[in-house]
């Protein structure tokens, strides 16, 4: 069998079944660990967007899912979570051959997050106030006032390549649980796992047409979804640049949008930090998943008094991170997602050198047995970075840490907030009272104290400033996937008791 024939082909998933595209066009999925073609995926056009939207809309209007009770929906979603566990191995494989995520990350964190996200969303949705009766206001006359939560309709979810499944699930779980239909457009590098999820959801009992996946370029398929008049909401995770464009495009039909965008998180090391905890914590905060995490701690602000000591210890400990094939359990850092991403990261490293930052370690493609064909980059640390340098202001989305010196807490806070982003931040200190006081001064949606990358499925996640609009996860996410309707019922037949009539009679 030739390699070509072994490559799995993936059509679209529309209305509960695998759906080929009319043009027959496909695009290649490249394994970042080897640069080989690992799968072929259908390239949708606007025609298929139309088909997916019409199916999602008619399914929504039919009430087959939108009229189900929360308990009935919960049963299907719990079944869906079981299917994910049963198919975990295949899901991990599909993610690995497209995203380059390590086995340790995919099997050790992502699968659990998918299951926990579904289970936690179900739990919160069962406690959710779908109908709330407001306290009586006598000025309105005898009446009852209720707030009723209803599904929005058709949701388009547009997702990035770094955590393809986890970030899709943050949208799929609340959208489905609240009764919406959803169309997911995954990033072109990483659609395989999301396609599999849609198939598993239908096997779990989700009616056809409720969860659809279409694959293809953001510039055509994504735009067609964002501007479609039958799409009620766009839930987007990706770069701030594309987020801005989505916000503009969505304005034509005044769609609801939630945007989870970029970050350039500051990690502040106070002079009293316990370096035994802080050094590995900083490295996990920035090098996990080869730095391709929106909330990574990429700007490290270190106090004068411990500056050189921290840099030396970081460089020493970085040597312990094994860069290698993601399928090897010994690997701590796999490849970056694509050649394009690798080139972008390398050009940022060049820019750091030319702007005068001091390269402490890394700085080039990683070499070694089995690495030559993949997109591997050495974990890279720059010291003596000024906060106005490009490497401190722009999101690199790769394994590059910028270390900045500060001498007072006021200066640290000023530098921490001197960014267009506000997704996350961190503080390393033995004094948690002081750390909490500083946390209050940082403009960011999530703050970690003596930790990093810790998510709870019941705590909202999202950005201040240009890191986003709205929140995912937790109870806030359920609100984001509903409309609220106020129903006022007059509870009298006596006209002289109606507050409004005397205004004109
Ligand atoms: P990207 O913005 O390039 O693409 C994201 C998605 O948008 C993809 O599916 C892409 O096909 C689609 N897209 C591109 N152009 C479009 C257009 N004109 N209209 C509609 N859709 C379009 O982002 P990426 O490179 O896939 O992911 C990396 C970025 O995502 C980083 O900036 C990172 O910070 C961000 N991110 C943010 C979060 C968060 O929660 N805040 C999480 C992960 C990643």
For the stretch 428-437, pLDDT in tens is 999 999 999 9
Query: pLDDT at residue 295 above 70?
Result: yes
Question: Exactly one of 260, 378, 395, 472 is catalytic; which is it?
Answer: 260
Indicate the average pLDDT of the chain. 97
Residue 122 belongs to a domain: yes
Query: The CATH number of the domain where 61 resides is what?
Result: 3.40.605.10
Residue minimizing CA distance to atom 31 of ligand 1: 239
The minimum-distance atom of ligand 1 relative to the CA of 259 is 41
Residue 409 belongs to a domain: yes
Q: Compute the average pLDDT of residues 80-99.
A: 98
How confident is the model at residue 3, as a pLDDT?
45
How confident is the model at residue 2, as a pLDDT?
39
Q: Compute the average pLDDT of residues 106-128.
A: 97
CA of 260 to the centre of ligand 1 (A): 9
Residue minimizing CA distance to atom 23 of ligand 1: 238
Q: Looking at the structure, tell me whether residues 247 and 301 fall in a common domain.
A: no
The minimum-distance atom of ligand 1 relative to the CA of 189 is 26
Residue 154 CB partners (closer than 8 Å, separation 6+): 53, 56, 57, 60, 180, 181, 182, 183, 230, 231, 232, 233
Domain count, the chain: 2
pTM: 0.96
The minimum-distance atom of ligand 1 relative to the CA of 263 is 34
Contact between residue 304 and residue 407 where contact means Cβ atoms under 8 Å apart: yes
Instruction: Please give the Cα distance from 404 to 385 (Å, whole number).
Output: 5
Q: Which stretches of 18-163 are DSSP H helices?
A: 46-62, 70-86, 88-99, 103-105, 111-126
**Number of other CB atoms surrounding residue 247 within 10 Å:** 17
The minimum-distance atom of ligand 1 relative to the CA of 161 is 26
Residue 419 CB partners (closer than 8 Å, separation 6+): 264, 266, 299, 393, 465
CA of 431 to the centre of ligand 1 (A): 37
Query: Three-state secondary structure along 138-150?
Result: HHHCCEEEEEEEE
Percent of the chain whose pLDDT exceeds 70: 99
Q: Looking at the structure, tell me whether residues 243 and 272 fall in a common domain.
A: no
Question: Which tens digits make up the pLDDT trace of 37-53?
Answer: 999 999 999 999 999 99
Q: Compute the average pLDDT of residues 387-399.
A: 98
Question: Which tens digits make up the pLDDT trace of 227-252?
Answer: 999 999 999 999 999 999 999 999 99
Query: pLDDT at residue 172 above 60?
Result: yes
Closest C-alpha among 49, 92, 105, 114 to residue 334: 105
Q: Catalytic annotation on 472?
A: no
Question: Which tens digits make up the pLDDT trace of 397-420?
Answer: 999 999 999 999 999 999 999 999
Q: Compute the average pLDDT of residues 252-279.
A: 98
Query: pLDDT at residue 280 above 50?
Result: yes
Q: Looking at the structure, tell me whether residues 234 and 290 fall in a common domain.
A: no
CA of 217 to the centre of ligand 1 (A): 12
The minimum-distance atom of ligand 1 relative to the CA of 160 is 26
Question: Exactly one of 294, 295, 378, 395 is catalytic; which is it?
Answer: 294
Q: Looking at the structure, tell me whether residues 173 and 245 fall in a common domain.
A: yes
How confident is the model at residue 499, as a pLDDT?
85
CA of 144 to the centre of ligand 1 (A): 45
3-class secondary-structure state, position 84: helix
Query: The CATH number of the domain where 438 resides is what?
Result: 3.40.309.10
Q: How confident is the model at residue 6 (pLDDT cuts 50, 70, 90)?
A: confident
Instruction: Please give the Cα distance from 50 to 230 (Å, whole number).
Output: 9
Domain that holds residue 101: 45-261+463-486
Q: Catalytic annotation on 260?
A: yes
Residue minimizing CA distance to atom 32 of ligand 1: 239
Residue 32 belongs to a domain: no
Residues with CB under 6 A from ligand 1: 158-162, 167, 185, 187-188, 218-219, 222-223, 226, 237-239, 242, 245-246, 260-263, 294, 395, 397, 423, 463, 468
Q: Looking at the structure, tell me whether residues 243 and 279 fall in a common domain.
A: no
How confident is the model at residue 473, as a pLDDT?
97
Residue 117 belongs to a domain: yes
Choose the residue to mutate in 113, 158, 160 for probing ligand 1, maximizing ligand atoms within 8 Å of C-beta: 160
Question: Which tens digits make up the pLDDT trace of 453-501?
Answer: 999 999 999 999 999 999 999 999 999 999 999 999 999 999 999 989 9
Query: pLDDT at residue 166 above 70?
Result: yes
Residue 367 belongs to a domain: yes
CA of 477 to the centre of ligand 1 (A): 19
CA of 238 to the centre of ligand 1 (A): 2
Query: pLDDT at residue 4 above 80?
Result: no
């Amino acid at each position: 069998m030739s390699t070509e024939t072994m490559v799995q082909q993936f059509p679209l998933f529309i209305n509960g079944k695998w759906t080929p595209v009319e043009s027959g066009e496909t695009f290649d999925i490249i394994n970042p660990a080897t640069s080989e073609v690992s799968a072929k995926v259908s390239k949708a056009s606007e025609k298929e967007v139309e088909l997916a939207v019409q199916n999602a809309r008619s399914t929504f209007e039919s009430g087959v899912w939108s009229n189900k009770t929360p308990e009935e929906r919960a049963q299907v979603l719990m079944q869906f979570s079981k299917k994910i566990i049963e198919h975990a191995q295949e899901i991990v494989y599909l993610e690995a051959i497209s995203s380059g995520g390590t086995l340790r990350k995919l099997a050790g964190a992502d699968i659990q997050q998918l299951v926990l996200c579904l289970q936690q969303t179900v739990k919160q949705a069962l406690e959710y106030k779908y109908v709330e009766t407001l306290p009586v206001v006598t000025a309105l006359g005898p009446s009852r006032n209720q707030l009723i939560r209803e599904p929005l309709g058709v949701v388009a979810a547009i997702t990035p390549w770094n955590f393809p499944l986890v970030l899709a699930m943050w949208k799929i779980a609340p959208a489905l649980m609240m009764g919406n239909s959803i169309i997911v457009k995954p990033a072109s590098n990483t659609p395989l796992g999301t396609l599999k999820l849609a198939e598993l959801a239908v096997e779990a009992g989700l009616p056809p047409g409720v969860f659809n996946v279409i694959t293809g370029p953001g510039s055509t398929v994504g735009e067609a979804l964002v501007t479609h008049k039958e799409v009620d909401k766009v839930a987007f995770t990706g770069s701030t640049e594309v987020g801005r464009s989505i916000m503009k495009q969505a304005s034509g039909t005044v769609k609801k949008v939630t945007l989870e965008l970029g970050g350039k998180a500051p990690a502040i090391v106070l002079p009293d930090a316990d370096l035994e905890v802080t050094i590995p914590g900083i490295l996990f905060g920035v090098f996990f998943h080869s730095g391709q995490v929106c909330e990574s701690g990429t700007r490290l602000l270190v106090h004068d008094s411990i500056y050189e000591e921290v840099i030396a210890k970081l460089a020493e400990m970085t040597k312990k991170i094994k860069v290698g094939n993601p399928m090897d359990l010994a690997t701590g850092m796999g490849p970056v997602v694509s050649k394009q991403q690798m080139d972008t990261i390398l050009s940022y490293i060049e820019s750091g050198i030319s702007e005068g930052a001091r390269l402490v370690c890394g700085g080039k493609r990683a070499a070694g047995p089995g690495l030559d064909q993949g997109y591997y980059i050495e974990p890279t640390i720059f010291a003596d970075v000024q906060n106005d340098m490009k490497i401190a202001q722009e999101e690199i989305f790769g394994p590059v840490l910028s270390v900045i010196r500060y001498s007072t807490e006021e200066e640290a806070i000023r530098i921490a907030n001197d960014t267009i982003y506000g997704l996350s931040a961190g503080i390393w200190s033995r004094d948690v009272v002081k750390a909490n006081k500083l946390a209050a001064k940082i403009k960011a949606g999530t703050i970690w104290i003596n930790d990093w990358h810790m998510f709870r499925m019941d705590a909202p996640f999202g950005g201040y400033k240009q890191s986003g609009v709205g929140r995912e996860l937790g109870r806030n996410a359920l609100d984001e996937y509903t409309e609220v309707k106020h129903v006022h019922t007059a509870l009298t037949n006596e006209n002289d008791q109606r507050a409004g009539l005397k205004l004109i009679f």
